[in-house]
């Protein structure tokens, strides 16, 4: 088939879209295009990346202008199947259905729940906007050929709209991040790593504050990689006392991420107990496991089931900095047990939580179209 993935938000090298989905479909024998804003046209590993220009500033401008550019480029491709990844592209998906095309909506997040904590939407209208988006998703999803969701929780809602709904988990590639935890034990520098979007609700302040606490007893570096949102948050975090123990790397490519994970003693994923986070399956947790790192994770029931069942880390109250610091200290003081946790996490990824298994579900979804 001639397949075209569409985004107005994500990057050209997005892990889920480009590295996993597009390349898996290309290897399965399909001709794959990927339309994405503000990049040059190029072909990587057989996937044809098509850039569209966009000078939109802010979310509303992007919705008005960038989506139109994405739609026009999509028409040029004239694909058999269009697979879009952003809720703001729902109108584009409906238009493509009008042209007689097969359309898949890839739902990465529970958008109505996400809206309830979006800072750029005025708080008094968030609930009504959330309700409006939920209704619009219901209306549109009935008309698409398939829905692809990142978690079973999201899939449960969409199956009531469209029975052709499949969960394609965003699990890590088996061979990308594998490391040997024994190598970490030989290092003299203790470190805990967090890689991903840097937001208040993702626990950045608690992680920095916990680093200050543990350094009163044990030297430990908090290794941080990603982008601050909003950008003003960076200055606020830098003012925290624990930031002097932080090694900030900014945004890294996949090779850079692998290097940091290979050098760390543990991985942190301490999202706040927001409704949308409690039922999420964060890719970074599984990437830490894939790299053989013990994880220190929020004590949400779903996450605890994964971490405790596989004995691959410690779950804590993400708002309790002392509890976070105590867990970090335990990992440093119990290297043999920490090594076993890392090995257990890696085994769980090899057996269950890997993209190779999920890619077969994606290919089957396309074959059934």
Q: Is 181-351 the same fold as 2-171+354-368?
A: yes
Q: In which residue are the tokens 């990992």 written? A: 331
Both tokens assigned to 191: 């470190």
* pLDDT for res 178: 67
Q: Which residues contact 159 (CB under 8 A, 6 or more apart)?
A: 165
| 309 CB-near residues (< 8 Å, 6+ apart) | none
Bridge partners for 2 per DSSP: 31
Q: What number of H helices and E strands is found in the chain?
A: 16, 14
Q: What is the pLDDT of residue 286?
A: 97
Letter string b/e over residues 21-60, b meaning 16 or more CB atoms within 10 A of that residue's CB = bbbbbbebebbbbbbbbebeeeeeeebbbbbbebebeeee
DSSP letter at 19? Answer: I
CA atoms of 159 and 166, how far apart (whole Å): 9
- Cβ(313)–Cβ(331) under 8 Å? no
Half-sphere exposure of 75 (CA within 13 A, CB side): 11
In the prediction, which pLDDT does 186 show?
Answer: 47
Q: How far apart are CA 339 and CA 358, in angstroms?
A: 27
Are residues 5 and 33 in contact, defined by beta-carbon separation less than 8 angstroms? yes
Q: Provide the residue ranges of all domains of the chain, joining segments of one domain with +.
A: 2-171+354-368, 181-351
Give the per-residue pLDDT at 60: 62
Q: 181-351 maps to which CATH number?
A: 3.40.50.2000
CA distance 334 to 32: 48
Phi, psi of 23, deg, nearest 5: -70, -35
Q: What secondary structure letter does DSSP report for 145? A: S
How many CA atoms are closer than 13 Å to the CA of 184, on its beta-carbon side? 30
Per-residue pLDDT of the chain (369 residues; tens, 9 = 90+): 999 999 999 999 999 999 999 999 999 999 999 999 999 999 999 999 999 987 766 666 666 778 999 999 999 999 999 999 999 999 999 999 999 999 999 999 998 888 887 777 888 899 998 999 999 999 999 999 999 999 999 999 999 999 999 999 999 999 887 665 555 544 558 999 999 999 999 999 999 999 999 999 999 999 999 999 999 999 999 999 999 999 999 999 888 999 899 989 999 999 999 988 999 999 999 999 999 999 999 999 999 999 999 999 999 999 999 999 999 999 999 999 999 999 999 999 999 999 999 999 999 999 999
How many other β-carbons are positioned within 10 Å of the β-carbon of residue 164?
16
The b-or-e profile of 70-92 (16+ CB within 10 A means b, else e) is bbebbeebebebbbbbbbbbbeb
What is the reported pLDDT for 111? 87
Laid out side by side, the sheet with 31-37 consists of 42-44, 47-52, 31-37, 2-6, 81-84, 102-107, 146-149, 165-167
**Cβ neighbour number for residue 163 with a 10 Å cutoff:** 10
Q: What is the distance, to the nearest Å, from the Cα of residue 137 to the centroid of all Cα atoms in its chain? A: 21
Total Cβ atoms within 10 A of residue 241: 12
CATH H-level superfamily of 2-171+354-368? Glycogen Phosphorylase B; (3.40.50.2000)
Q: What per-residue confidence (pLDDT) applies to 277?
A: 93
- Asked if residue 88 lies in contact with residue 9, where contact means CB atoms within 8 angstroms, the answer is yes
């Amino acid at each position: 088939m001639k397949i075209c993935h569409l985004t107005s938000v994500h990057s050209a090298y997005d892990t889920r879209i480009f590295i996993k989905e597009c390349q898996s479909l290309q290897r399965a024998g399909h001709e794959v295009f990927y339309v994405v804003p503000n990049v040059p046209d190029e072909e990587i590993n057989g996937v044809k990346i098509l850039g569209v220009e966009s000078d939109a500033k802010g979310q509303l401008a992007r919705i008005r202008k960038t989506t139109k550019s994405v739609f026009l480029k999509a028409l040029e491709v004239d694909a058999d199947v269009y697979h879009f990844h952003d809720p703001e592209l729902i109108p584009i998906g409906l238009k493509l259905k009008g042209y007689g095309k097969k359309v898949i909506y890839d739902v990465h997040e529970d958008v109505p729940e996400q809206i309830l904590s979006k800072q750029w939407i005025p708080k008094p209208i968030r609930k009504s906007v959330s309700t409006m988006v939920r209704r619009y998703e219901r209306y549109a999803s009935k008309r698409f050929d398939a829905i692809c969701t990142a978690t079973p929780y999201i899939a449960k809602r969409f199956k009531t709209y469209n029975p052709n709904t499949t969960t394609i988990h965003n699990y890590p590639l088996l061979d990308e991040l594998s490391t040997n935890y024994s190598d970490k034990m030989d290092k003299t520098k203790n470190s805990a790593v967090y890689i991903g979007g840097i937001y208040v609700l993702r626990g950045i302040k608690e992680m920095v504050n916990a680093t200050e606490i543990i350094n009163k007893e044990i030297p430990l570096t908090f290794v941080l990689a990603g982008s601050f949102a909003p950008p003003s948050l960076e200055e606020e975090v830098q003012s925290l006392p624990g930031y002097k123990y932080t090694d900030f790397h900014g945004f890294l490519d996949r090779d850079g991420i692998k290097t940091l994970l290979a050098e760390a003693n543990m991985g942190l994923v301490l999202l706040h107990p927001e409704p949308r986070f409690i039922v999420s399956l964060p890719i970074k947790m599984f990437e830490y496991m894939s790299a053989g790192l013990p994880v220190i994770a929020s004590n949400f029931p779903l996450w605890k089931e994964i971490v405790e069942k596989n004995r691959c880390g410690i779950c804590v109250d993400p708002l309790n900095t002392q509890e976070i610091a105590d867990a970090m200290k335990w990992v440093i003081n119990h290297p043999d047990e920490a090594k076993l946790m890392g090995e257990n996490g890696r085994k769980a990824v090899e057996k269950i939580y890997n993209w190779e298994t999920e890619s077969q579900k994606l290919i089957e979804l396309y074959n059934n179209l």
